[in-house]
């Protein structure tokens, strides 16, 4: 499938604001890929498709979780967690993307993971710092990520967990694994 064909599919799947977001994530991912010796074409594809499933109804996600015998714990969560983990399955079935590095970048773009390939790190960060993002600390996040991709991952992970706790949100276990590996494991007093 050409980039143009993929863009048409995404345009039909996503609301305009979300369609613009994924194109900004693509540009940011390409930039980060070049700076970090990551495959630029994979960064482009993963950036474009990372939110492919974001606008699907909850019933679609629940059906896939059950049909594919995914972890039933997933059913306790919602769109924020499903659109990555379950979205990757929809991408395989509907877009026929089979590259596991790209699929893992989609799976882990919201929660991160203890082990993330450089491509996964690029997509995790590009989604967080793309030029349309506006939140307290985004400029710091951009600066840290430009200096060091892995420091960017640690920065986002800490901010996100703090945000979830402050708002009494359900924390997906993978989010805690990411925190333990990337924040507590790096220079903290329990760290290596
Ligand atoms: O899809 P986007 O809006 O572009 O961005 P995203 O996929 O990174 O989603 C961000 C949202 O996901 C943000 O509101 C925080 C939320 N999130 C991240 N980790 C967790 C989480 N929500 C819950 N409930 N639990 C988590 O562990
Ligand atoms: Fe997302
Ligand atoms: Fe996104």
Q: Is the confidence at residue 187, as pLDDT, over 60?
A: no
CB contact at 8 A, 123 and 47: yes
What are the extents of the domains in the chain? Answer: 3-184
Q: Is the confidence at residue 191, as pLDDT, over 90?
A: no
State the pTM of this model. 0.96
**By alpha-carbon position, which residue is closest to atom 12 of ligand 1?**
80
- What pLDDT band is residue 188 in, cutting at 50, 70 and 90? low
CB contact at 8 A, 104 and 6: no
- Distance, in Å, from the CA atom of 60 to the CA atom of 129, rounded to the nearest integer, reads 29
Q: Is the confidence at residue 138, as pLDDT, over 60?
A: yes
For residue 94, what are the contacts with CB-CB under 8 A and spacing of at least 6? none
Ion ligand 3 neighbours, Cβ < 5 Å = 51, 127
Q: What is the DSSP letter of 72?
A: G
**By alpha-carbon position, which residue is closest to atom 14 of ligand 1?**
80
28, two tokens: 């940011």
**By alpha-carbon position, which residue is closest to atom 16 of ligand 1?**
80
pLDDT in tens, 54-110: 999 999 999 999 999 999 999 999 999 999 999 999 999 999 999 999 999 999 999
Nearest to 124 by CA among 14, 57, 32, 40: 32
Q: Crossing angle, helix 3-13 and helix 16-35, to 10 degrees?
A: 140
- Distance, in Å, from the CA atom of 124 to the CA atom of 51, rounded to the nearest integer, reads 12
Instruction: Tell me the CATH number for domain 3-184.
Output: 1.10.3210.10
Report the pLDDT averaged over residues 128-151: 98
Output the average pLDDT for the chain: 96
Centroid of ligand 1 to alpha carbon of 6 (angstroms): 24
Report the pLDDT averaged over residues 162-176: 97
**Closest atom, ligand 1, to C-alpha of 54:** 1
Report the pLDDT averaged over residues 120-146: 98
């Amino acid at each position: 499938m050409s980039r143009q064909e993929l863009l048409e599919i995404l345009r039909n799947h996503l609301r305009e604001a979300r369609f613009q977001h994924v194109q900004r994530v693509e540009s940011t991912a390409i930039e980060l890929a070049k700076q970090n010796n990551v495959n630029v074409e994979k960064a482009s594809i993963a950036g474009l498709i990372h939110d492919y499933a974001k606008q699907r109804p909850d019933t679609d996600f629940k059906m896939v979780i059950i049909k594919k015998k995914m972890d039933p714990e997933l059913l306790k969560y919602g769109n924020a967690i499903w659109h990555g983990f379950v979205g990757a399955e929809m991408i395989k079935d509907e877009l026929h993307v089979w590259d596991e590095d790209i699929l893992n970048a989609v799976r882990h773009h919201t929660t991160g993971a203890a082990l993330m390939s450089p491509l996964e790190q690029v997509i995790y960060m590009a989604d967080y710092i793309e030029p349309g993002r506006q939140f307290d600390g985004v400029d710091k996040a951009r600066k840290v990520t430009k200096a060091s991709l892995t420091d960017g991952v640690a920065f986002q992970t800490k901010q996100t967990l703090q945000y979830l706790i402050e708002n009494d949100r359900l924390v997906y276990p993978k989010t805690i694994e990411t925190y333990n590996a990337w924040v507590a494991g790096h220079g903290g007093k329990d760290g290596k």
